[in-house]
């Protein structure tokens, strides 16, 4: 790979990306060139995936969730326990509760299961969080997920670490007020911890024939009520698109789509999703059908199917 993140303000591999490369290097006993901070070129030659217990510390608040999602397809049906330390709830990355409440349940619909445990929360900029991913099992089958259907309920988690617990309650109450207009049950759990780096956040999920999620993180100077409102509004915006998956899940599912002959509709075809598809086309022999942008339809068929 060349010109990695070339047009970004800080081009090349950053701590989070480098950690993902290093996890895959460990798992696959790969020969790698260019795995250093700021590298814009990477050569990765994998070997056989090795079972065992692995751990990696990002060293910053880089997202351990994105690293776990990178490793998950590779450790499917292998006895691997992966411990990751860094950021669990950080900007521009899926919160760990999104992985628990949206990402993994969608994978269950295609026949995959995994155990994810949050040992400690880690927020930006301190990091210090820890998750454990293990027992990734299943026999993925082709999945057609093209309708969200009517939401039967809303669930979620509002959390706070090393800050007043009232913040989590106010986030949850604000999100609940926006979601109750649908006339469906709304259950948002509160998680109040005195350990972990300082921070807060909320994930809310609509449950129907599919699942959609919305999330927001607390920010200095931003009222907890605004944080809860942002999460609910993001979810409602994607629900109004007519897609079966929210903008983030429909992006993150693309690799598994290419490997397992999926078809689905996503709320919004983001620029990140477009780039994701182009990279997939360069590495996998797969026929990709793409239509529309909001919502968009995606179907993947591996060669010979």
Active site residue ranges: 272
Core vs surface per residue 94-130: b (16+ CB within 10 A) or e: bbbbbbbbbbbbbbeebebebebebeebbbbebbbbb
CA proximity to 47, closest of 27, 67, 66, 61: 27
Name the CA dihedral angle for 31, 37, 41, 44, rounded to a multiple of 10 degrees.
Answer: 20
By CB atoms closer than 10 A (0-12, 13-18, 19+), residue 73 is: middle
Residue pair 104/116 in contact by the 8 Å Cβ criterion: yes
In terms of DSSP H, where are the helices of the chain?
15-28, 64-71, 96-98, 104-109, 166-179, 224-239, 249-252, 254-260, 271-283
What is the distance between the alpha carbons of residues 34 and 40, in angstroms, rounded to a whole number?
8
Strands (DSSP E) contained in 121-172 are 129-138, 144-145, 153-161
Q: How many residues does the chain have?
A: 305
CA proximity to 108, closest of 81, 82, 141, 133: 141
22 three-class SS: helix
């Amino acid at each position: 790979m060349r010109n990695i993140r070339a047009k970004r303000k800080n081009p090349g591999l950053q701590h989070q990306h480098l950690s993902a490369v290093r996890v895959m290097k460990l798992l696959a006993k790969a020969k790698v060139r260019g795995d250093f901070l700021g590298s814009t070129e990477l050569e990765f030659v994998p070997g056989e995936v090795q079972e065992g217990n692995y751990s990696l510390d990002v060293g910053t608040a880089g997202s351990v969730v994105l690293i776990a999602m990178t490793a998950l397809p590779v450790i499917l049906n292998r006895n691997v326990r992966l411990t990751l330390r860094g950021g669990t709830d950080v900007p521009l990355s899926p919160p760990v509760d999104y992985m628990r409440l949206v990402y993994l349940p969608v994978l269950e619909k295609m026949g995959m299961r995994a155990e994810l445990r949050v040992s400690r929360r880690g927020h930006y900029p301190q990091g210090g969080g820890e998750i454990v991913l293990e027992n990734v099992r299943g026999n993925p089958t082709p999945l057609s997920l093209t309708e969200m259907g009517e939401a039967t309920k809303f669930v979620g988690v509002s959390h706070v670490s090393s800050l007043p617990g009232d913040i989590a309650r106010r986030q949850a109450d604000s999100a609940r007020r926006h979601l109750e207009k649908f006339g469906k049950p709304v259950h948002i759990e509160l998680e109040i911890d005195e350990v972990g780096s300082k921070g807060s956040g909320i994930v809310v999920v609509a449950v129907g024939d599919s699942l959609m999620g919305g999330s927001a993180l607390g920010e200095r100077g931003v009222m907890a009520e605004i944080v809860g409102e942002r999460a609910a509004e993001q979810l409602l915006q994607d629900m109004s698109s007519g897609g079966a998956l929210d903008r983030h899940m429909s992006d993150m599912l693309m690799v598994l789509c290419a490997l397992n002959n999926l078809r689905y509709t996503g709320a919004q075809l983001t620029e990140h999703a477009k780039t994701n598809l182009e990279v997939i086309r360069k590495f996998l022999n797969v026929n990709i059908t793409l239509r529309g942008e909001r919502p968009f339809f995606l179907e993947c068929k591996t060669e010979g199917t």
